[in-house]
Amino acid sequence: MLSSLTRASVKPTQIASRAFLSTWNAVPQGPPDAILGVSEAFKKDVSADKMNLGVGAYRDDAGLPYVLTSVKKAERIMMENNMDKEYAGITGVPSFTKAAGALAYGDDSPAIKENRLAIAQSISGTGALRMGAEFFNAWFPHAKNVIVPNPTWGNHIPIMKNAGLGLEKYTYFDKQTNGLNIDGMLEDLQKAPKNTVVLLHACAHNPTGVDPTMEQWDQISKVMKERDHFAFFDMAYQGFASGDCSRDAYALRKFVDEGHQVVLAQSFAKNMGLYGERVGSFSIVCHDEQEKARVDSQLKIIIRPMYSNPPIHGAHIVSTVLNTPELKQEWLGEVKSMADRIITMRTQLRNHLENDFGSKKNWNHITDQIGMFCFSGMTPEQVNNIKNDWHVYLTQDGRISMAGISSANVKYLAEAIHNVTKD
């Protein structure tokens, strides 16, 4: 503690002379976020034709944010039940984590039936990924490295690195076909050191929209089993990709059935439209119930100094929807309708390009890809041209957020794409 003598010796004039130099004077300006930059440019554009295809949030066919009816009903039930605002436990709302685990792994999953699934509520998918990365850095008994697909969601890289993990990329996207380079992927998995942590997008790969087929997932599982690799699944779009929650969980469930001890980052932002509620979970398939108890204890130790315990409102919404049979059925219908609208926009966009504007380029990838995003194949120069000439805004890698397309503007977009890509 500062003595009275020392305090008295600090003269006001000395303090004032240093006041102009801020403690944070040397902090540099950070780079802008690529997606937020697109949105800012879009906002400044005064054209009536402008389109924002950068943000990964669902919009209805009128271009408006969509709150699911099942979610609204769940909130009414919560209000009627006069739910309190007490703290959740460190690992979250139990009724939520139980329902989230069952949705992801399946009600009949051996990991759930044998009580060996350690699961904690997270701050959406991003928080789940960070929790997982921290757990691997603390407890993974092999090299603290992870390999991610090339390309991958931009936030994967800083999340893993900031948690202390080394990071490299494996072959994934084929720029020539705008599809999956399965041979390159399998070769890289074969070459990776044994016991490598492999990050896998469970469905609706972001940013490419390119998913392995079921047969290709079987091949991936086989190679990873042979090399003793560890699967770190990121599932942000269950149900939103194909419209079928079970189909979208195929890879995760396949790996568990084949004996992989997987981990999963799960989000309810997209499939329930709960973007701002930040609802997700992180789960670990353990060997037995005793191991689960130990893992649970260490997850709590990671969570407690990070944010103590998670928020409850969004978790209660998900819990109410998934644990109320009629609401769950309504939600399954709604998530399918969202997926179907995206699929319809893909079909219409391709049809306009090929039939209305006579594009000679191959646009099969628009309908072959799945989920919210389409990797268009446009170059950075073409992206700049479509922005400057047509007021269409997307990220420099040519990724289109299909949710920003509607029946009112899909033909305009097709005309724009055709004009900037034609020879």
Can you name the residues that pair with 400 across neighbouring β-strands? Answer: 374
Parallel, antiparallel or unpaired: strands 399-401 and 373-375: antiparallel
Cβ atoms of 51 and 278 within 8 Å: the answer is no
Q: How far is CA 183 from the centre of its chain?
A: 25
Calculate the dihedral angle through the C-alpha atoms of 364, 366, 371, 376, rounding to the nearest 10 degrees: 130
Q: What is the DSSP letter of 173?
A: E
Cα–Cα distance for residue pair 69/331, rounded to 1 Å: 8
Cβ atoms of 263 and 283 within 8 Å: the answer is yes
Cα–Cα distance for residue pair 121/299, rounded to 1 Å: 10
Residue 386 to residues 86, 136, 212, 254, 378, Cα–Cα distance (Å): 50, 42, 30, 41, 10
Cα–Cα distance for residue pair 364/350, rounded to 1 Å: 8
Give the helix/strand (H/E) hosting 150: strand 145-150
Phi, psi angles (nearest 5°) of residue 263: -125, 155
Give the DSSP letter string of 355-385: IIS---S--HHHHHS-SSEEE----HHHHHH
Give the DSSP letter string of 308-354: SS--SHHHHHHHHHHHSHHHHHHHHHHHHHHHHHHHHHHHHHHHIII
Cα–Cα distance for residue pair 123/407, rounded to 1 Å: 34
Which residues are identified as catalytic? 153, 234, 270
Residue 343 neighbours by CB under 8 Å, 6+ apart: 243
